[in-house]
């Protein structure tokens, strides 16, 4: 917890990871600094939409591309804006154990409530290397950890068998799975059967409804940055077994996902947020903001779903 931070927690891990935990964007100024006012506004929008947590410095938060100073600014700003209403989880998705452990210690000093840890990458690694990587992060800090399976970025998937070994440590809270591999997701649900406190969250928006109805605990959807209430509604419908409502909401979510096809998905997401008053759409270099034509296409998608974008 940063010096002088006197926030009072009003949440529990059971509730937080049994809801919607958006992977928050990192709003940047045109010159690359973290935009503190836009970050505060984004946190407020997400939590006012009744999401149960904040995941900063993940893929949507460009964590692997930000400088140490930018990362600290994001964590401190999010923790300050959350004010204890919901936990702040920070990604330490570095390519190797040493840099990840260093980032974990800094994040702990900056006031996060938990870390999000995936597989090492760049080089191929086996299950034993992945397990040692997570264990080293747990040894580096006293914070709990949420695992993160995102092989499209790491190229090294976390297998259910590896996750089962790690789940024996009670500081391993659960897993966010963004692989889009439903067979693997079911394997993570099987781990939950043996460890009831282990939480399984779906990060692939196309599989959101099916994952919840099958027994997933929560969602980590990028579009909840600007549409938190939509995903909270889906989570609530699934909780009462309303399959028809889930199907209707999933159809809306799937159509909204089309905005990611207009240019690179990350500038497209940040453009959608910007058009709804959250940041200015600037991504980390070397990416460029969405073009005028891309913004127009994204705005059309938002408009047909009842949003009111400003180009």
Query: Would you call 122 a catalytic residue per the annotation?
Result: no
C-alpha–C-alpha distance, residues 118 and 128, integer Å: 13
> Within a 13 Å sphere around the CA of 85, how many CA atoms are in the beta-carbon half?
17
What tokens were used for 258? 């089309």
Q: CA nearest 19: which of 223, 218, 215?
A: 218
**Please, are residues 160 and 191 in contact by the beta-carbon 8 Å criterion?**
yes
Question: N- to C-terminal Cα distance for the chain?
Answer: 39
Active-site annotation holds for 176: yes
CA angle 283, 279, 28 (to 5 degrees): 45
Of the residues 121, 176, 192, 270, only one is catalytic, namely 176
Cα–Cα distance between 248 and 211 in angstroms, integer?
15
> Cβ-count burial of 186 within 10 angstroms (0-12 exposed, 13-18 middle, 19+ buried)?
middle
Q: Retrieve residue 60's tokens.
A: 């949507």
Beta strands in the chain (DSSP E): 54-56, 88-91, 114-117, 145-149, 172-177, 199-202, 218-219
> Choosing from 121, 148, 192, 270, which is the catalytic residue?
148
In total, the chain counts a number of residues equal to: 311
Neighbours of 292 (CB within 10 A): 9
Query: Would you please indicate which residues are annotated as catalytic (active-site) residues?
Result: 148, 176
């Amino acid at each position: 917890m940063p010096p002088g931070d006197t926030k009072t927690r009003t949440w529990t891990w059971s509730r937080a990871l049994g809801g919607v935990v958006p992977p928050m964007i990192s709003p940047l100024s045109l010159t690359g600094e973290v935009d503190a006012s836009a970050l505060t506004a984004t946190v407020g929008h997400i939590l006012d939409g009744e999401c149960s947590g904040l995941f900063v410095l993940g893929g949507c938060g460009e964590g692997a591309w930000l400088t140490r100073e930018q990362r600290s600014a994001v964590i401190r700003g999010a923790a300050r804006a959350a004010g204890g209403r919901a936990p702040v989880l920070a990604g330490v998705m570095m390519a190797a154990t040493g840099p990840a452990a260093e980032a974990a210690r800094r994040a702990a000093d900056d006031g996060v409530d938990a870390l999000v840890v995936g597989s090492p990458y760049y080089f191929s690694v086996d299950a034993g290397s992945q397990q040692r990587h997570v264990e080293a992060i747990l040894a580096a800090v006293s914070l709990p950890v949420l695992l993160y399976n995102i092989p499209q970025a790491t190229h090294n998937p976390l297998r259910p068998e590896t996750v089962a070994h790690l789940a024996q440590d009670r500081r391993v809270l659960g897993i966010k799975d963004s692989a889009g591999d439903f067979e693997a997701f079911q394997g993570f649900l099987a781990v939950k059967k043996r460890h009831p406190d282990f939480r399984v969250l779906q990060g692939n928006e196309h599989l959101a409804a099916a994952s919840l109805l099958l027994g997933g605990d929560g969602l980590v959807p990028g579009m909840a940055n600007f549409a938190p209430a939509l995903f909270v509604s889906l989570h609530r419908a699934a909780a009462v077994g309303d399959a028809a409502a889930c199907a209707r909401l999933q159809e809306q979510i799937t159509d909204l996902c089309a905005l990611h096809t207009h240019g690179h998905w990350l500038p497209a997401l940040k453009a959608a947020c910007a058009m709804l008053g959250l940041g200015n759409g600037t991504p980390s270099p070397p990416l460029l903001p969405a073009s005028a034509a891309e913004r127009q296409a994204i705005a059309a998608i938002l408009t047909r779903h009842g949003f009111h974008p400003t180009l």
